[in-house]
Amino acid sequence: MIILDATKKDKLVWKHDNVEHPFSSSAVWNALRQRGEEVNWAHLVWFSSCIPKHAFIMWLIIREKLLTQDKILKWSPSRRLNMNVMCCSLCIAAFDSHSHLFFECKYSMQVWLRVRNDAFMQHIPPKWNDIMDWLNAREQV
């Protein structure tokens, strides 16, 4: 039975391990999530002025979790028969995959070469491991 007391002010609380805590989304999230070991690239994705949408996409890229056609194919193998569905939407010349999207596609390779030059990364080969190694070394200086 709940007894309402009009003389007291309402407050949000949540109960965790039979203890009441003042409610906040971050406190609940931190209490409920399972933390893994921090990866050496975490500072490249999440930092004080990061844009959350960009950080999320970067996290997907690093974990190779972008929803490219090769990932979708695992759910629906019959799609392989239709090149119109499976092909890269940038070049329309090859099957879409993580490696194709970033470094094998003729279109994205042109973008990468331009970005690489603008970011003074001309000596970095077009491979994720080499790029991540360069970024990690740069951030730790």
42 vs 111 by CB, closer to Zn ion: 111
Q: Does residue 88 bind Zn ion (CB under 5 A)? A: yes
Alpha helices, H only, 4-105: 25-32, 42-45, 52-62, 69-75, 83-86, 98-99
Among 44, 45, 86, 105, binds Zn ion (CB under 5 A): 105
Residue 14, both tokens: 């949540």
DSSP letter assigned to residue 77: G
Q: Does residue 66 bind Zn ion (CB under 5 A)? A: no
Q: Does residue 86 bind Zn ion (CB under 5 A)? A: no
We find the least distance from the C-beta atom of residue 97 to Zn ion, in angstroms, to be 9
103 vs 134 by CB, closer to Zn ion: 103
| 8 Å CB contact between 101 and 70 | no
We find the least distance from the C-beta atom of residue 64 to Zn ion, in angstroms, to be 17
Residue 73 identity (one-letter amino acid): L
Q: Among 88, 54, 94, which residue's Cα sits nearest to residue 68?
A: 88
65 vs 106 by CB, closer to Zn ion: 106
Q: Does residue 90 bind Zn ion (CB under 5 A)? A: yes
Encode 81-111: b = buried (16+ Cβ within 10 Å), e = exposed: eeeeebbbebbeeeebbbebbbebbeebeee
We find the least distance from the C-beta atom of residue 55 to Zn ion, in angstroms, to be 25
Q: Which stretch binds Zn ion (CB under 5 A): 44-52, 64-72, 91-99, 130-138?
A: 91-99
Site residues (CB under 5 A) for Zn ion?
Answer: 88, 90-91, 105
